[in-house]
Copies of this chain bind each other. A is one copy, B any other.
Amino acid sequence: MDTSTPTVPARPSMTRAERDRLTSDLRMACMRISRRVRFESTAPVAPHQFSVLVRLEERPRTPKELARTEKVSAPSMTRTVAGLVAAGLVARADDPTDGRSVILSLTPEGRRTIREIRRRRDQWFAARLEGLTDDERALLASATLLLERVAAE
């Protein structure tokens, strides 16, 4: 895939007002799309549960680590994890090096659940992108690379 900065016609520098406008318009567009995806697609687990599944998709983590990254209290995470374990989506294991800790990881069913939720969300969004031309899609593909860079900072 082409990861270089896309070629666009030369333009004069943006004014401060134009930059502010871009910031606000782009942010609101992203948040509106996010909201609509959440509203229009149903999910088998609640948003805060899905968020934990995605964290565990990257690698196994402790409840404390999850509480910190998800910005919730330890007792809240205890509760959330308990629900995911009860649903068979997350597995608990003792930490062999520290008797106080537990190590949480995704079960195969947990991975399937993530895939299913992404599939539903993409399905809704894909229908909205149907009406675009190839050029418009190419432009959005280039923009996606920039957005990913911005979000990763």
Are A140 and B146 closer than 8 Å at their CB atoms?
A: yes
A 104-128 binary contact with B (CB < 8 Å = 1; else 0): 0000000000000010011001101
Min CB gap A70→B, angstroms: 9
CB proximity to B under 8 Å, residues A48-104: 71
Q: Which chain B residue lies CB-closest to A124? A: B27
Across the interface, which residues of B come within 8 angstroms of A13, CB to CB? 134
Partner of A20, one of B22, B26, B122: B122
A5-B135, A22-B137, A128-B153 given as contacts; is B29 within 8 A of A37 (CB)? no
CA distance A133 to B13 in the complex (A): 9
Q: Mark A122-153, 1 if CB is under 8 A from B, else 0.
A: 10011011011111111111111011101101
